[in-house]
Amino acid sequence: MAEPRYPLLVRLPGGRVQHAAKLAPDGEHVFTLCRKRGRPDGDGDGLPYCRGCANRPNPISQQAGR
């Protein structure tokens, strides 16, 4: 089964919302579905979900089904 390309739920420093994110190649930073970049500052449990991430569909990896 294909998995979403943004499987992580994170909070960015100073953030007030939870974002869908994927790990950057450097292994320390993340890219969010709403096109932000930063070092995660926790998982954001208890925070509302980001409107920008909610408005973009989480793309499914096309390589998993091959």
In a domain, 50, yes or no: yes
Q: In this predicted structure, what is the pLDDT of residue 59? A: 84
| Domain count within the chain | 1
What is the pLDDT of the chain when averaged over all its residues?
A: 90
In a domain, 61, yes or no: no
Residue 47 domain boundaries: 8-54
Closest CA to 36 of 62, 4, 14, 3: 14
Rounded CA-CA distance 58/22 in Å is 11
Rounded CA-CA distance 55/13 in Å is 22
Rounded CA-CA distance 42/15 in Å is 10
Query: Which token pair is 32?
Result: 């969010």
Q: Which residue has the higher pLDDT, 13 or 3?
A: 13
Q: In this predicted structure, what is the pLDDT of residue 4? A: 85
